[in-house]
Structure 1
Amino acid sequence: MASYTKKEAREWAREKLVGVANVTIPTMTSDFKRLNHKAIRHDVELSVEHGFVGTLTCSEVAITPEEYEQFVRIAVEQAAGRIFIVHHAVFNTLEDNIDAVQKAQAAGAELVLLGYPPYFYPKSLDEVFAYTKALCDATDLAVMLFPIPTWGFSRLDPSDMPIALLRRLIDECPNVASIKAEGGAPHIMAAIEVHRHFHKEVVISSPMEHEYVPLAQIIPIPFCGTNFSAYYGPVLPQVHRLIQAGRYEEATAIFHRLDAARKAFGSVPQAGNGLINRMMWKYESWLQGYNGGPLRHPTARVYQRDMVALRRGQEASGLQPTQDPDEAFFIGRNPC
């Protein structure tokens, strides 16, 4: 259960959402029939060691709702209060998502990243409001709203979730505690607009490191997540601490040092038509010591050309990727 009440969600978020949160992708056993508990624990533990303040238990992979609930419980148990666990609310229907968020809350998750299913096709922003409010009403957990073109709302408004909609949700849902500001991407206008209107009421997250590092030097942004930052190992939490301490020159120097890794990341197929290549993310984090290993099919794939580019990018940026051969990624560091 959460350590706060629904009415305290924004206070909790203001205290806890200070830092960087990554994503933990569940690993399956070698026969693809069960969750690999040891691998999940390994990844959560390394997230703690790398300085992350939270991690998202990714549900956007081929696992059952029952397995996902078990995944959350394993992550919460391993985290042991050292980092918070973020529930990934992107199941197939509103009813499925209500059931999943209630089970995640009981399992110990403390924050909800609220997404929308591929077959949710609203005809108006009022329908987006109704869906979002129904999910917020169904849980006592703090909720992070997530404007982004992925949901297909750009046909309703170029910012994906406009200020008037966000205003209604903040006013009517006391547990709306944060906004992951990616609306209108790749442009940053909507993100800046969200910050200008709401940063004193809820926590604004700038999850893309190439935006967070420069923007956080000129406007207050306490949180960066959830995101692919495991690709950089412990570096982004270190940069966050530098920025919060006002050590901008040092943070900027690291930003420039990461240029080769950043360009390598951008050169490979990270996503397509609204679905992130989680196998690619798994390989990227494996280079930095995370487990790697099996994901059930269907999944996007990682090819040798991608692995070569990513490894060379990390090497050129001084990130010291593992020297293990790439074939070891497909087995994982804790095979079971």
Structure 2
Amino acid sequence: MTDAPQFEGSYTVAVTPFTDDASAVDTDRLKAFLDWQLETGVLGIIMLGTTGEFITLSREERRTVVETTVQHIDGRIPVLIGTMNASTAIAVEQSVEAAEAGADGLMILPPYYYTPTDDEIYRYYEAITDAVSVPIMLYNNPVTSNVDMSAALVARLAKAFPNVSYIKESSQSIPRVGEVLELAGDDIVVYAGEQLVDSYALGARGYVNPYGNYIPRASAGMYRLLSEGRVDEARHIDSLIHTFDAIIAEGHPTYGHQCYSKELARRAGYPVGPVRAPLTTFAQLGAEGEEKIERILKVTAEIDDYAVQIGL
């Protein structure tokens, strides 16, 4: 692992705030959203991940998001930027731009769509690490990328490239956390992409989650609870998250966390605009969306009340 900034705790993988017609990035909304994250104790922010609709942004819009976030956060918490692309050359360009803009780290999926071999994935990260020295968080999310990086491959990358020092593990296989740590050892820190409590028990030391977009105090506090040995309290919040996760997952999968994260942020007082096509907007859901959001809000209100009750 490098001597660069050390990341630990619960990080929000953030939405990208747009104008009401989704035609442009709304920097005023972005700054207000970031202030909310800071006020509620979020320990790190990740922009341009899956929840941030990174595929839909132009190169100039990416620059706007990165520069606005880095300048507004101003070193108060770590800022990581998603710089993945199916093209190695573009991933390298985006990584260099983010690092030069002042990002503290990068979160990078393997090249998607092509279903690359392990050697192709290795060369992709090799090209990126040749170009930047900031810490890199691998992002293993086979549901969206169609690539499942094995524990052996993760260990190979971590041992070969000193700044490949983190992974967001979202394979939906909780035992994978332990497998990665067994093979990679101190060369990598695992961030859970889901089921934080069980992942923490296996050695995860962080949490990358979309829930900070609408319940930031509770989502940020979960890791703190675990680090203080308050496992039952953390598990109670986790179980409530699973309850509304199941509601979000009902129906067509493409209007999942992005759509509901944005609507729930708006209901919390932080409008961030709609999602961009081809994702289904909340307005397009009609009565179905309204029925679901009311069910979700009952659970998030319970989570917020509990967070206050236990002193988060």
Q: TM-score range by the shorter chain?
A: 0.7 to 0.9
Aligned twin of 2:183: 197
Give the SS at the match of 1:8: coil
- Match of residue 241, structure 1, among 224, 245, 248: 224
State the alpha-carbon separation in 1 of the partners of residues 266 and 236 from structure 2. 25
Aligned twin of 1:284: 264
Aligned twin of 2:77: 83
Could you list the runs of 5+ residues in structure 1 that have no partner in the other structure? 1-5, 154-159, 322-336
Indicate yes or no: 2:199 matched with 1:215.
Answer: yes
Indicate yes or no: 2:94 matched with 1:106.
Answer: no
Indicate yes or no: 2:303 matched with 1:309.
Answer: no
State the alpha-carbon separation in 1 of the partners of residues 265 and 20 from structure 2. 19
Read off the aligned partner of 1:222 and give its amino acid letter: R
Shift of 1:32: 4.5
Indicate yes or no: 2:153 matched with 1:165.
Answer: yes
Structure 2 CA distance for partners of 1:129 and 1:316, relative to 1, 3 Å: closer
Q: CA RMSD in A?
A: 2.6
Indicate yes or no: 2:75 matched with 1:67.
Answer: no
- The answer to which structure has the higher helix fraction is 2
Structure 2 CA distance for partners of 1:57 and 1:296, relative to 1, 3 Å: same
State the alpha-carbon separation in 2 of the partners of residues 48 and 268 from structure 1. 33
Give the SS at the match of 1:133: helix
Task: List per-residue Cα deviations over 1:189-221 (Å, max 9, x = no partner).
Answer: 32331133335332111121xx112332x3333
Task: List per-residue Cα deviations over 1:305-330 (Å, max 9, x = no partner).
Answer: 13431332231453489xxxxxxxxx
Indicate yes or no: 2:98 matched with 1:115.
Answer: no
Retained in 1: the 8 A contact 2:16–2:30? yes
Give the TM-score, by structure 1 length.
Answer: 0.78
Shift of 1:61: 4.3
Retained in 1: the 8 A contact 2:196–2:238? no
State the alpha-carbon separation in 1 of the partners of residues 242 and 21 from structure 2. 38
Structure 2 CA distance for partners of 1:119 and 1:34, relative to 1, 3 Å: same
Could you list the runs of 5+ residues in structure 2 that have no partner in the other structure? 305-312
State the alpha-carbon separation in 2 of the partners of residues 290 and 220 from structure 1. 34
Give the SS at the match of 1:146: strand
Structure 2 CA distance for partners of 1:148 and 1:253, relative to 1, 3 Å: closer
Indicate yes or no: 2:128 matched with 1:135.
Answer: yes
Shift of 1:115: 1.2
State the alpha-carbon separation in 1 of the partners of residues 178 and 203 from structure 2. 11
Shift of 1:140: 1.2
Read off the aligned partner of 1:246 and give its amino acid letter: G
Retained in 1: the 8 A contact 2:254–2:279? no
Matched positions, count: 296
Give the TM-score, by structure 2 length.
Answer: 0.84
Retained in 1: the 8 A contact 2:40–2:216? yes
Percent identical residues = 22
State the alpha-carbon separation in 1 of the partners of residues 42 and 290 from structure 2. 25
State the alpha-carbon separation in 2 of the partners of residues 207 and 271 from structure 1. 18
